[in-house]
Structure 1
Amino acid sequence: MTFQIGATAPDFEAETTEGPIRFHDWIGSSWALLFSHPKDFTPVCTTELGTLARLKGEFDKRGVKLIGLSVDPVTKHSLWAEDIRETQGVAPNYPLIGDTDLKISKLYNMLPESTSGDANNRTAADNATVRTVFIIGPDKKIKLALAYPMTTGRNFDEIIRVIDSLQLTAKHRVATPANWRQGEDVIIAGSVSDDEAKTIYPNGWKSPKPYIRIVPQPK
């Protein structure tokens, strides 16, 4: 249901808990994390919003702006924020979009274009597919899209790990292996020929197979 990696993230105007925005202008030259929720006052999403608020400093360090979306109105988001503060210890410290006309949910293919009706009368089950994470680069291209079931809370440590990988590979012609973490070895990208690699990595590389060229993470 989601857009393919490399597609331009659709632009839109929206009301948020921090005022009106135009999405691409709001991103500016930063990275962005857009994450959606099927309904306010739902248990799993409540834990997610609080967790993300606690982790905001980690995203700030990486130049990543956070923005959430739910089909409920901004006024209800503000009430939900009090529950999140009470149960999770911290309220959202990033904007939440009120997508009451379902326009953005449909624009991002999280709901079928044929979906209609008053958002207030829709249940979380009606909006079950509005549980997606998009990582968007400064070029406004989608770098990652993940869709989650309602019963599985999102792993934001993994999302931070992916952002670290994306930002590293945006600067250097490398890829990151399974379970990679900051500071660990990386793989020279397949687009780099051996002759080029010898110039970039004069100390050479480990190569258990000719197509696997392992080097320390670039600084």
Structure 2
Amino acid sequence: MLQQLFSPSVQHTLDLVGIFVFAISGALLAVRKNFDVFGIAVLAEVTALGGGLFRDLIIGAVPPAAFTDLGYFLTPLLAALLVFFLHPHVERIQVGVNVFDAAGLGLFCVAGTTKAYEYGLGLTQSATLGLATAVGGGVLRDVLANEVPSLLRWDRDLYAVPAIVGATMVVLCIRYDALTPFTSGLAALTAFVLRLLAMRFHWRAPRAWNRRSTVRDE
């Protein structure tokens, strides 16, 4: 078995924090789309748990943690309730929410990659599921809200790339038998910092070389 980055109790707390922040982003989008309270709750749950559910179903970790730990299910509902009543105030601290979202991205890409490898997947497949754990909920959120997923849009700051870097660092450490709490934390921190820098300097992925498309930019 691979070493855990933190003790089980601390890891569980960090998972709940990441779930809560991801749920906030889903609930805020629902408010902007003028969804009702049920829609707000659904987007909060999907955003927070979608990536982890997808990973657990792929690796055969069933029933998924979201259905065995009541805290995982209730935390997004708490976030949805908070946004339902206080969304103007939450909007004003959007920068802070984005910082925590970046932290969740870093933690989830590392945790997802590690868990996938522990269940017998290869290094490349584990990194792929680490990425899916980190960004899958956001993709489902955007699809349900009838939007092009953010990580596919050229006009959005890099989101998937920091998660890819973090997941790749983890599998390289596994490959060279160097995965420790320190190196796992370093991978999560790298993804976190890259995401913050992307938001700060508006780093974006390049579009097709020598692009001649007549499609209007959106």
| TMscore range, shorter length | under 0.3
Question: Larger strand proportion, structure 1 or 2?
Answer: 1
Question: Larger helix proportion, structure 1 or 2?
Answer: 2
Q: TM-score, normalised by structure 2?
A: 0.27
